[in-house]
Amino acid sequence: MPNPTAAMLVIGDEILSGRTRDANMHFLAGQLSNRGIDLAEVRIVSDKHDKIVSSLNALRAEYDHVFTSGGIGPTHDDITADAVAAAFGVNVDIRDDARAILVAHYQRTGLELNAARLRMARIPDGASLIENPVSSAPGFTIGNVHVMAGVPAVFQAMVASVLPLLTSGQPLYSQSLCINRGEGEIAADLSALAADFPELSIGCYPFQRDGAFGANVVVRGQARAQVDAAMVRLSDLFPEAVA
């Protein structure tokens, strides 16, 4: 059986403006790979309601899972919950169980649960909550969409809450080799290797160090024996390379 597929929708003007560097995609990709869920697409959209709705509808129709990050905080530009509700055609409002989580949190911290913070209890109808052990305000899952915060520590905690609930596939096994030759010099050999191992992913990632060119070649696949065999062939082709 093929692995489940996934996409990620990163939401936020601060990402597109270059003000904030996104770390969540890198984290999610690693976590999904370890569980045998293939991350196939990542989109970044601005804080525009219609853009979020259209992107979300396109992704959730194509992939088994969609993970979103950003836009579920207390400020006016946190519109993800509204956009997700619109995409699914359901109502969104403050929900009692989410409110209770926030009430307990702000009682513990001694801070005021004001109207802005209470916005984080707005959940689309039919959604289930995603636990947030870092700052309490929950994410939510509706259909095949998992809606999470943009703050990396909170996003990571929410991912840890969601992943055990998902059907996993076959994790990818990977090995790499560092070859101190330019891409153009090794391209023909890599093409032949890829043709002989069509079920594997063979990636070539160039670098330049001290004026010299080289490439890290990464071989990935579900079958360990095939990856090992391809690596033996690669090592024979480039005996000077370093694993």
- pLDDT for 79-131, tens place per residue? 999 999 999 999 999 999 999 999 999 999 999 999 999 999 999 999 999 99
Angle, CA 199 vertex, CA 171 and CA 184 arms, to 5°: 110
The model's pLDDT over 135-146, given as tens digits with 9 standing for 90+, comes to 999 999 999 999
Domains and CATH numbers, the chain: 5-165 (3.40.980.10), 173-237 (3.30.70.600)
pLDDT of residue 224: 94
The pLDDT, as a whole number, for residue 190 is: 96
Q: Is the pLDDT of residue 218 over 90?
A: yes
The alpha helices in the chain, defined as continuous H runs, are: 13-16, 24-34, 49-62, 80-88, 96-109, 115-118, 152-162, 183-196, 224-237
The pTM (predicted TM-score) of the whole model is: 0.89
pLDDT tens for residues 36-58?
999 999 999 999 999 999 999 99
In the predicted model, what is the mean pLDDT of residues 212-239?
A: 94
Report the alpha-carbon distance of residue 5 to residue 15 in Å, rounded.
24
Q: Identify the pLDDT of residue 61.
A: 98
